[in-house]
């Protein structure tokens, strides 16, 4: 349904205002290509057992529930930063659920933490979140340049979100004796190489989308030729209708933002704090990707504050980001029973605190 809506709105945008629609599509295509490449790389890494091995190691080395949760926070932050938040929720959610179950602990902190921490951890590198690439399309920053501006807000947002989830779900932070099952086997090869090469491209290139996509396509084609994967499974993991739908809606709203100056002019009069607050609400109303396209149709006055709101705001509700839908699917596949109401309750506490803390870090440390 979302795919059809996206195609229809995109076609209407081109028919009504072809010039602005082409400009919006030019701004938006690269982020969607990059996330496709990162999801392919994540799929190869997952099939090689890299995420499962990390979860097993985490479960075996954690002496307490708090230690397990802290380790999960660092794992989610690292995977989100390098491989995108959608990759994180799609592949780490079942890993963390199984890690909690293997130690007899409550799964809620890791289950909900994976979603909220993935959104919170998406401020470190351009490829960590599609919104980063859409908003910064006007600036063409390398990953290293972006990190130099956003390391402090990203670290603070991750820390504050982890504290909120840990405190509100503290009753579930318990462990029993060490698991006795053998650790999951790992294939050290294609997946690790693909992750490393992709991370290098994201760090050093201002526009790494096509390069990362090539890495992902080559890696997945090699797996398919070896009989270790098949096209239908790859298409399912990518969620092609969702990506197509969100791209179409993003182009339509980007066209609107170019033709209708009110959103851009209004945002230009906001300070850093108001920009973060308004963009957080816009991410829930429109979804963060279309909202990014709408609010950055013209070069924003406070692009990093805009990103803080767009990246952290989705923790408020399921409409905020694609990550929510991928998280729900991954959690159910793992046999969990994710509650949108519970996740939103955690988000109601985490979002204002993390947005305020990240904006403060941006102002005083960025």
Q: Is the pLDDT of residue 105 over 80?
A: no
What per-residue confidence (pLDDT) applies to 2? 67
Q: Is the pLDDT of residue 106 over 90?
A: no
What per-residue confidence (pLDDT) applies to 245? 85
Integer Cα distance of 19 and 58 in angstroms: 51
Identify the burial level of 111 via C-beta atoms within 10 angstroms of its C-beta, where 0-12 means exposed, 13-18 middle and 19 or more buried. Answer: buried
- Which of 300, 35, 5, 242 has its CA nearest to residue 13? 5
The answer to whether residues 88 and 211 touch, using CB atoms and an 8 Å cutoff, is no
Residue 30: pLDDT band with limits 50, 70, 90: confident
What per-residue confidence (pLDDT) applies to 322? 86
Q: For residue 338, give Cα distances in angstroms to 123, 233, 311, 326, 334.
A: 25, 23, 21, 12, 10
Integer Cα distance of 61 and 187 in angstroms: 21
What per-residue confidence (pLDDT) applies to 12? 87
- Residues 317-332: what's their mean pLDDT? 91
Q: What percent of the chain has pLDDT over 70?
A: 95
- Tens of pLDDT, residue by residue over 108-147, are 999 999 999 999 999 999 889 989 988 887 677 888 899 9
Identify the burial level of 186 via C-beta atoms within 10 angstroms of its C-beta, where 0-12 means exposed, 13-18 middle and 19 or more buried. Answer: middle
Q: Which tokens belong to 30?
A: 């690269």
- Residues 144-152: what's their mean pLDDT? 93
- Tens of pLDDT, residue by residue over 253-294, are 888 888 877 777 788 889 999 999 999 999 999 889 889 988
What per-residue confidence (pLDDT) applies to 281? 96
What per-residue confidence (pLDDT) applies to 143? 85
What per-residue confidence (pLDDT) applies to 7? 82
- Tens of pLDDT, residue by residue over 225-251, are 988 888 888 888 888 888 888 888 888
The pTM score is: 0.87
What per-residue confidence (pLDDT) applies to 236? 82
- Tens of pLDDT, residue by residue over 64-101, are 888 899 999 999 999 999 889 988 998 999 989 988 88
Higher-pLDDT residue of 202, 68: 68
What per-residue confidence (pLDDT) applies to 183? 62
- Residues 160-167: what's their mean pLDDT? 97
Q: How far apart are the first and last CA of the chain?
A: 41
- Residues 289-300: what's their mean pLDDT? 86
- Tens of pLDDT, residue by residue over 331-360, are 998 889 999 999 999 999 999 999 999 999
Domain boundary assignment for the chain: 2-364
């Amino acid at each position: 349904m979302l795919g059809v809506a996206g195609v229809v709105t995109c076609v209407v945008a081109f028919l009504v205002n072809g010039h602005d629609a082409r400009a919006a599509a030019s701004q938006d295509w690269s982020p969607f290509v990059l996330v496709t490449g990162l999801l392919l790389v994540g799929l190869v890494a997952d099939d090689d057992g890299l995420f499962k091995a990390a979860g097993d190691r985490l479960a075996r080395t954690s002496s307490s529930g708090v230690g397990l949760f802290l380790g999960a926070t660092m794992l989610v932050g690292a995977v989100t930063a390098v491989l995108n938040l959608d990759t994180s929720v799609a592949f780490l959610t079942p890993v963390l659920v199984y890690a909690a179950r293997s130690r007899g602990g409550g799964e809620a902190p890791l289950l909900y933490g994976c979603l909220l921490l993935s959104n919170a951890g998406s401020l470190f590198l351009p490829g960590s979140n599609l919104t980063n690439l859409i908003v910064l399309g006007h600036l063409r920053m390398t990953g290293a340049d972006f990190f130099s501006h956003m390391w402090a807000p990203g670290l603070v947002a991750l820390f504050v979100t982890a504290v909120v989830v840990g405190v509100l779900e503290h009753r579930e932070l318990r462990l029993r004796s060490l698991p006795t099952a053998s650790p999951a086997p790992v294939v050290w090869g294609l997946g690790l190489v693909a992750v490393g090469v992709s991370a290098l491209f994201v760090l050093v290139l201002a526009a790494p989308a096509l390069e990362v996509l090539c890495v992902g396509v080559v890696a997945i084609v090699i797996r398919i030729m070896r009989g270790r994967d098949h096209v239908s499974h790859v298409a399912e993991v990518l969620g092609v209708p969702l990506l197509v739908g969100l791209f179409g809606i993003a182009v339509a709203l980007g066209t609107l933002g170019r033709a209708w100056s009110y959103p851009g002019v209004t945002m230009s009069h906001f300070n850093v704090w108001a920009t973060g607050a308004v963009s957080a609400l816009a991410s829930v109303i429109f979804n963060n990707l279309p909202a990014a396209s709408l609010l950055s149709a013209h070069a924003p006055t406070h692009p990093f504050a805009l990103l803080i709101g767009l990246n952290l705001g989705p923790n408020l509700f399921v409409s905020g980001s694609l990550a929510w839908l991928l998280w729900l699917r991954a959690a159910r596949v793992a046999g969990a029973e994710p509650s949108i109401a519970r996740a939103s309750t955690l988000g109601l506490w985490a979002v204002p605190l993390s947005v305020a803390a990240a904006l403060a870090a941006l102002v005083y440390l960025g």
